[in-house]
Structure 1
Amino acid sequence: MEDADLDQIRKARLEQLKAQGGAKGSSGGGGSQEQAAQRHPAAEARKSALNQILEPEAADRLGRIRLVKEQRATDVENRLIMLAQSGQLRQKVTEEQLKELLNAMADNKEEEKIVVNRRKGWEDDDDDLLDL
């Protein structure tokens, strides 16, 4: 019952925003407003999906992460949405499960480090120039 009410409110708000965007867009160059109107439904759908995937504590933690590292929070959200779409999530993600996912993703980041091997012998040529 509560989900149906939320969906109705979201649809009404979306229609209201579309009406406002249409009125502003017809009055002049509203290219950026049109882009914002196109992004808004996608952001709403993403937010709705995350509300269905995450428990409130986990959503709160993800919000705090977003304040510090927005890209990392976006990566985690993408991973969660992908897992939900593929049917690998059977229940809402708890805060502990979110921590485990964050740690797993952090371990993957460490493996992607680049190692630079410098060739020996280059410094010898430069040292000869300094002895002039």
Structure 2
Amino acid sequence: MEDAELEQIRKARLEQLKTQGGGGAKGAGGNSSQDQAQRQKQTANNWLPTAEARKSALNQILEPEAADRLGRIRLVKEQRATDIENRLIMLAQSGQLRQKVTEDQLKELLNAMADNKEEEKIVVSRRKGWEDDDDDLLDL
């Protein structure tokens, strides 16, 4: 059943790409630049599906336990859950997911993304400068 749904999604995407590709050749001189700009905008936003498409894609991608965990994460940190969802959808679209994601696999993905976040942190260490309180004691 999932294979049939994925095949329908692929067919719909293929048709969409065909219509986008054919639209530029038909347009007149002034419209072609507008069509091209619109196609670029759609292509840029294509990896981020609508809310309904996201929900249906995640239902196909995640096992129920993993979906439940992601829902609990959303209650605490909505941005983190959205980042995980985006990553999962991109992995599925690129064909890197061969089966539904289990709760353990979701935990691994969460840990991997947390490691990346820690690497991005900037630590500022301040040196003692000329405005130390210890300098005031020398003036006595």
Same-fold status (TM-score > 0.5): yes
Q: Spell out, residue by residue over 1:11-48, the C-alpha distance to the aligned partner (whole angstroms, 9 max, x if none).
A: 999999999999999x999999999xxxxx81001101
CA contact (8 A) 2:2 2:60 kept: no
Query: 1:66 & 1:23 partners in 2: Cα distance?
Result: 44
Stretches (4+) displaced over 3 A: 1-25, 27-35, 124-132
Percent identity between the two aligned chains: 91
CA contact (8 A) 1:24 1:30 kept: no
**Other structure's SS at 1:14 match:** helix
CA contact (8 A) 2:57 2:89 kept: yes
Structure-2 change in CA distance of 1:113 and 1:13 (3 Å): closer
Q: Spell out, residue by residue over 1:44-63, the C-alpha distance to the aligned partner (whole angstroms, 9 max, x if none).
A: 01101101110111101100
Structure-2 change in CA distance of 1:10 and 1:43 (3 Å): farther
Query: 1:32 & 1:98 partners in 2: Cα distance?
Result: 43
**Other structure's SS at 1:49 match:** helix
Q: Give TM-score, length-normalised by structure 2.
A: 0.59
Query: 1:57 & 1:30 partners in 2: Cα distance?
Result: 49
**Unmatched segments (≥5 aa) in structure 1:** 36-40
Counterpart in the other structure of 1:30? 31
Query: 2:30 & 2:137 partners in 1: Cα distance?
Result: 62
Q: 1:105 pairs with 101, 104, 113, which one?
A: 113
Q: Spell out, residue by residue over 1:74-124, the C-alpha distance to the aligned partner (whole angstroms, 9 max, x if none).
A: 010011001111111111100110011111111111111111133543425
Structure-2 change in CA distance of 1:12 and 1:118 (3 Å): closer
CA contact (8 A) 1:62 1:73 kept: yes
Structure-2 change in CA distance of 1:93 and 1:115 (3 Å): same
Aligned residues: 126
Structure-2 change in CA distance of 1:14 and 1:28 (3 Å): farther
Structure-2 change in CA distance of 1:61 and 1:124 (3 Å): closer
Measured on the aligned residues, the alpha-carbon RMSD in Å equals: 6.6
Query: 2:32 & 2:75 partners in 1: Cα distance?
Result: 29
